[in-house]
Every structure is written in structure tokens, then in C-alpha cells.
Amino acid sequence: MPSFNETQPIFVQIRERIAAMILTESAKEGEPLPSVRSIAADLSVNPLTVTKAYDSLVALGVVESRRGVGMYVAEGGREKLLAHERDTFMSEEWPRIRTQIRALGLSLETLLKEDSK
Amino acid sequence: MTSTIVSVRNLRKQFGRMEILHGLDFDIPPGRIYGLVGHNGAGKTTTLNAMLGLTSYEGSVQVLGEDPYRHRARLMKDVAFISDVASLPRFLKVRELFQMLSDIHPNFSAEKAVGFLEGTDVRLGAVIGNLSKGMLAQLHLAVVLAIDAKLLVLDEPTLGLDITYRKRFYRRLLEDYMTEDRTLLITTHQVDEIEFMLSDIMFIRDGALILHMPMDQVAERFAQLVVAPDQSATAMALKPVFAETRFGQTVMVFDGANRDALQALGQVTTPTLSDLFVALMSRDTGVSK
């Protein structure tokens, strides 16, 4: 069983795993996602924690909760998720990375050269 | 109808002249998974016994709106429990046990119990006295899961079981028991194993509740700091509830401290339940180590 890290709340880590399933299209739009119960049992976590993870994706319109049936990837959900993740990256992670790049004095040429290797 | 599953007010218990529960107050709402943690002899089992109607007490205890001591038989339709000392009749075969339970318990389904035993090594024709400890635990779990109970109380349910059995045991509970109108109360010493399963935690020490809160509040209130080498004195000034030095590395636990202030002094994480337990159990005892 993959374990959790200590720095982020568990529901955030579960949310990221569900998001990864959608982004990599191992669950495509309109397809079912694992049930709250099965994720809770697989990871030995409280079902409310899994529900909290799903709720945040439902609020974004990425996941659709069909009453009495389960969770599905919403139509257009992957695009919405991608847009949201890009925003989060630009506003939260990029400033930190940019600061680090500057602090290390790395030039754009060096970075691009490394990237095309 | 009852929105609270368990409601306890000023629960006291004396054995002879010794008072071992000093006035407990707590409510347990439905749909939660509660962990009750304490040292041996702290009063865990006595508290559970009071809730199950197995012991007399002072104060008020309501379980599903009933007084457990006076209406135990009625209550047991909706409450199931596994305790480490609970024993199933050793002379019966598994099949006979299920038959007997169907006869005496209105909410027991033998069909469900048989279903829960599928995939285990427990055979219906086996004599209970011949089962191994692990198989007994599986049988016991199958029995309680086959009771349509609103409250399930587990007192050290996995004591003496190996890690594979323990994992399977908790998996079953999450898969086959938990729903939003059911409630689970677990005591265990292997608290790290069930940490992420819990929605709420209660610590009991010397007959008193010293902590009772939802797990997400634990992360907000308590912080663990691995102190940077030169920051020990500054960190000490923020009054940790616990400090310990191991291999030259100092670890402190703080209650209600500002996380941003701690970030400057070292590495901050949320303490695991077992770290928090050790920290709070060693606080204010007045006993020098």
C-alpha cells in the first residue's frame, strides 16, 4: 500500500491521487471512479476523509456524484481540472521555483538545454 | 430519532473505596469512528462496560436513548461488541453457533455471517474450540457484522493477531460495516494502525478524559517540532507540552502554538497519535523520570 507523507492532510493526498487518475485518463470522462468505501478500505482511512477529497473535486465540476450510484468523471471534467491545476501551479508553486532559479543564478539557456536532453 | 448515539454525563465508578472513573462527560454522534486510547488500568474497559450495561455506575449514560444497565436486553438488538475476553461457546460447531444466534437475536442474519466467512479458513463444520486465535477473531467479526447494529464497540479487537489478520480485520470493518448512520468505537494499543481510520479521538488517563476532539482539529491544535540545533532555548520559551532528546536531536510537541512561529525553529509536522499520546500522558504527572 502506498503510504502518506506527513506534510499534507490526508484528504489532499487522496484528492491528488484521484486527480492523477483523471489527468492520466486512467478514468476517462463519463467513466466511474472508485467508490468512497473501496478507497477507504484500500487505504485504511475514514470514509469521511475520502468524501472530503471527492467533495472538493465535485465543487470544481470535475467529478459528478450520481446519487445512489457513485462517482463519475464529469463531461469536460478533465479540461476543468487541468485549468485548475495550471492556475494552482502558477500562483503557488511557480513563484517559489522562480525564486529558487534566481537564487541559484540559473540562466534560461541552461534550463532549456537541460530540458532538451 | 436519536441524533446522539452515546451520551455520558458525570460518569463515575468506584471499586470498593477506590474511584476509578472521575466524572466523564462526552457525546458520540452517528457516522463516526471513535478511538479510545489509554494506558492499561486507565478506565477504558470500565467505560465501555458502563456503555454496554455490563457494570453499574454513578452518573448518567444513554446509549441510543436507553439506559444500558436497566434495558440491556433491548439495547443489545442494536449494539454489538467484541472484547478481548469475550468467548464464543467452545463446544459448538460454527454452524450451530449461527443457528443458536438466529434463534436468540432478532437482528442476526446467519446468511450474512456465512457470507462474511467466505474467503477465510473458518469452516462451518469446525468446532469453535479447535479454531486458531486468528480464525476465532474472524469468526467473531463475522458474527458481529451479521448483526444489523447501530453501534459496534471493539475492545482491543486485534490483540495477539498478526499484521495480515489485523489489516484484513479493519478492511472488513470499513467495507462491510461503516455507513453514515452507524458508529464504531475502538480501543487499541496499536493506535498508529488505525490513526487515519478515526474521525475522533479520546485519550483517557487515570479515570479522566484528557483529550476529546475530531481528528482534523488535532492537526490544527498540536504541532511537533524537530528543533534546529541552535534554537533549543527559543523553542523552550514557547512552552512545549513535551520535549525529548534522542541521538542529540530534540523533538518537542506544542499545544496551540503558532505554526508559522515554529517553522523558523526547525521542521514542523503534525504529531502521530502515538507521539501525541506519549506527550500528553507524561504531562503534569509530577513524577520525575
| Cross-strand bridge partners of residue A64 | A72
Residues B152/B120, Cβ–Cβ less than 8 Å: no
A5 in any annotated domain: no
Neighbouring CB atoms inside 10 A of B231's CB total 15
Distance CA A44, CA A66 (A): 24
- Percent of chain B residues topping a pLDDT of 70: 96
Which residues span the domain enclosing A33? 10-115
Sort out which chain A residues have CB atoms less than 8 A from B200's CB and list them: none
A104 in any annotated domain: yes
Q: B-side interface with A, Cβ within 8 Å?
A: 31, 33, 167, 170-171, 174-175, 178, 193-194, 196-199, 215-216, 219, 269-270
Q: At what angle do helices B133-145 and B94-104 cross, to 10 degrees?
A: 30
A4 in any annotated domain: no
Q: How does pLDDT run across B229-269, given as a tens digit for each residue?
A: 889 899 999 999 999 988 888 999 999 988 889 999 999 99
Domain limits, chain B: 6-206, 217-281
A9 touches chain B (CB under 8 A): yes
A1 in any annotated domain: no
Q: How does pLDDT run across B88-146, given as a tens digit for each residue?
A: 889 999 999 999 999 988 899 999 999 989 888 899 999 999 998 888 888 988 998 89
A35 touches chain B (CB under 8 A): no
Virtual CA dihedral for B39, A47, B275, B226, nearest 10 degrees?
A: -170
Distance CA B270, CA B267 (A): 10
Residues B47/B24, Cβ–Cβ less than 8 Å: yes
- Report pTM: 0.83
Indicate which of B181, B197, B272 best probes the interface with A, i.e. most A CBs within 10 Å of its own CB.
B197
- What is the tally of structural domains in chain A? 1
CATH value at residue A21:
1.10.10.10
Distance CA A6, CA A12 (A): 11
Distance CA B196, CA A99 (A): 35
Which superfamily does B6-206 belong to? P-loop containing nucleotide triphosphate hydrolases (3.40.50.300)
Indicate which of B196, B218, B272 best probes the interface with A, i.e. most A CBs within 10 Å of its own CB.
B196
Q: Smallest Cβ distance to A48: which of B194, B199, B269?
A: B199
Indicate which of A1, A44, A49, A52 best probes the interface with B, i.e. most B CBs within 10 Å of its own CB.
A44
Distance CA B29, CA A74 (A): 33
Residues B64/B2, Cβ–Cβ less than 8 Å: yes
Q: Phi, psi (5° rounding) for residue B203?
A: -105, 135
Q: Reduce the DSSP state of residue A8 to 3 states and report it.
A: coil
